[in-house]
Amino acid sequence: MRDPNRVLIFDTTLRDGEQSPGATLNLAEKLEIARQLARLGVDIIEAGFAIASPGDFEAVSRIAQEVGQLDNPPIIASLARANKKDIDAAWGAVQWAKRPRIHTFLATSDIHLEHKLRISRSDCIEQVGEMVSYARSLCEDVEFSPEDAGRSDPAFLWEVLRVAVQAGATTLNIPDTVGYCTPQEYGKLIAGIVENVPGVKEGRVVVSVHCHDDLGLATANTLAGLLAGARQAEVTVNGIGERAGNTSLEEVVMALKTRSQFFGGLYTNIDTTQLVRTSKMVSSLTSIPVQPNKAIVGANAFAHEAGIHQDGMLKNPLTYEIMRPESVGWNSTNLVLGKHSGRHAFADRLRQMGYELSREELDRAFERFKALCDKKKVVSDADIEALITDQFEMLEDDLYRLDEIQVATGTGNTPVASVRLIDKEGEPHQDAAIGNGPVNAVCNCINRITGANAKLLEFHVHAVTEGIDAIANVTIRVEMIDAHGKRYVFSGRSADTDTLVASGKAYLAAVNKGLRRVKRVADTTA
C-alpha cells in the first residue's frame, strides 16, 4: 500500500533537460549523471527518448543495464510518442532494468490536435487507447502524458485519461508543456483529474505534475499540483530543459522539506545532502552554468553580504537562514590534494564527489592530476571537477584532437594563431589564421583546418579557484548548419591553466560534436 504522503521524484534531466540548446551529453556523461541520480534517491530516471537516435537508444539501454540493476534501483523510463515504433524502441531499451517503465504521450489541446497532429478529438482518444494498451502488453508500468494538458479542455482531458487508465496506464502525467498556467489554474486542473478519473482516488493510478518555466511559475505550479493531489513530480536538476527549462528538482524537494507542515507532511526520498554535488555535476557536464542567485544550489544561495544580516547570522543563524547549507550539501571543508597525494586518496576524493571511473579512466585522470600538481601547489575539489569533466568531453570518436597552439598578440598587432590538430588516423594538420582577438584567431584557425562552418555564439571563462595559478574553465557554444540547412547549437568546455589552450580545446570539442552530427546526417541520407 502506497504511503499517501510520499511524493515520487521523476527526474527527466537526461531527457527533457538534455533538450536544452547545446546540452548534448555523451554516453559516459549520461551514465555518470544517472549513477548520481540513483545516489540522490530519485524514484524514476527518464533516461532518454530511445527512438531519437542510436546514441539515445544505447544510452537508455546502458543506464537500464547498469543503474537499473542496482540493489533497490530507481525505475528506468524512456519516452515514446504514441506509436508502435517509438514504443518498441522504448521497450527495447528499458527492458533490461529491474523496474522498467514506458512513458508514452499524445497531445490533447485543440491547438496541437488541429495544427500539429491534424487529427480529431475522437482519433486522439482511439490512438491513446490502442497505444497505451500496446505499451501495457510489453511493460507493466506505463505512464501516459497528454501533451499540452495545461491548454486542453478539461472535460476532454478527463475522457482521454479515463481511456488511458482503462488501457492500462498506471501513471497519468499532466504537462504544462508551454509553461502557460498559473498555480491556481494548474492546481484546479489536477484537482479536477483526481476527482473525475476513476482509479486515482483509489490509489491505483498516480497523478504526476510536469511544468515548464516560461513564466517563472514551474515550481509554484508543481507545488500547487501536489497540494491538489498529485503524487509524482517531474523535475530536472538545476531546472534545465526546453526554452526556460523545467521545474527544478532541488526547489521542489527543499520546499516540501522546509515547509513540511504547510504541505501537510508531503515528503520525498531524496538525500538532500547530495543536492549540491548533483547540481555541480550536471552543470559541469552540460556546460550550463548555474546562476549565482539560484535557490538552493546557486553560489550565493547561502551567502550573507549585508552587515545587518551578518550580525544576525553571528548571533543566531535562524535570523536569516531557513535551511542549513549542510542540509543541501554545501560543506565548508574543502579537502585539498597536492603533489604528495597518492592514487588512492585521489580515487577516494572522486568517489566522494560522486564520480565512479573505470580503471583506465582513473589512470588517465590521475596522470592529468599529477601534471596539474606540477603547475598548482594545492588542488581543490573545483579543480578536480574541472579536470574530470574535461576528460569526459574528450571522446574516442572525436575527429580531431588539439596538439599545439601558438598565439601572437599585443597592443597594435593583429592577433595571429597557429594551430596543429591530429586527426583520427594520427595525421597532423596545421594552419594559421588571424582574428579580431586571440581567441577569435584560434577559432578561425580551427575552422580552416576542419572545414567547419562554426560560428561562436557564447564564450565564458572563469577561474576555478583563486590565485595566479588558477585553472581557467572555458565554456563555449557554437552554431553549425547541417547539409539540409538545419541549425544546431553545440557546446564545448575545457579546463587548463592556460586560458588560450582551454579556449582552443573547448572550441574544438564543440566543433567535433558538430562534425559528428553532420557526418551522421550525411551517412543516413547517403
In angstroms, what is the minimal distance from the CB of 177 to ligand KIV? 3
Q: Which of 210, 280, 477, 516 binds ligand KIV (CB under 6 A)?
A: 210
CA angle 198, 200, 201 (to 5 degrees): 95
In angstroms, what is the minimal distance from the CB of 179 to ligand KIV? 9
If DSSP states are collapsed to H, E and C, what string results for 168-223?
A: CCCEEEEEECCCCCCHHHHHHHHHHHHHHCCCCCCCCCEEEEEEECCCCCHHHHHH
Distance in Å from the first CA to the final CA of the chain = 55
Binding characters for ligand KIV, 7-26, by CB under 6 A (x = yes):
---------x----------
In the complex with ligand KIV, the residue whose CB is nearer, 152 or 279, is 152
Q: Which residues pair with 432 in a beta bridge?
A: 418
Region near Zn ion per CB under 5 A, out of 11-19, 154-162, 435-443, 485-493: 11-19
Q: Is 186 in the site for ligand KIV (CB under 6 A)?
A: no
- Residue 147 interface partner, choices Zn ion, ligand KIV, none, CB cut-off 5-8 Å depending on type: ligand KIV
Total of residues contacting Zn ion (CB under 5 A): 1
- Which stretch of DSSP H or E encloses residue 299? none
Region near ligand KIV per CB under 6 A, out of 171-179, 185-193, 249-257, 486-494: 171-179
In the complex with Zn ion, the residue whose CB is nearer, 16 or 393, is 16
Region near ligand KIV per CB under 6 A, out of 152-160, 173-181, 285-293, 434-442: 173-181
| Signed CA dihedral, 509, 514, 515, 520: sign only | positive
Residues 86-145 that bind ligand KIV (CB under 6 A): 105, 145
Q: Which residues pair with 22 in a beta bridge?
A: none
- Residue where the block lists cell 527527466: 12
Q: Which of 7, 14, 16, 68 binds Zn ion (CB under 5 A)?
A: 16
Please tell me the distance from the alpha carbon of residue 351 to that of residue 366, in angstroms, as a whole number: 13
Q: What is the identity of the amino acid at 274?
A: Q
DSSP conformational letter for 52: G
- Residue 145 interface partner, choices Zn ion, ligand KIV, none, CB cut-off 5-8 Å depending on type: ligand KIV
Centre a 10 Å sphere on the Cβ of residue 235 and count the other Cβ atoms it contains: 29
In the complex with ligand KIV, the residue whose CB is nearer, 12 or 36, is 12
CA angle 93, 68, 205 (to 5 degrees): 85
The binding site for ligand KIV (CB under 6 A) comprises 16, 105, 145, 147, 173, 175, 177, 210, 212
Q: Which residues bind Zn ion (CB under 5 A)?
A: 16
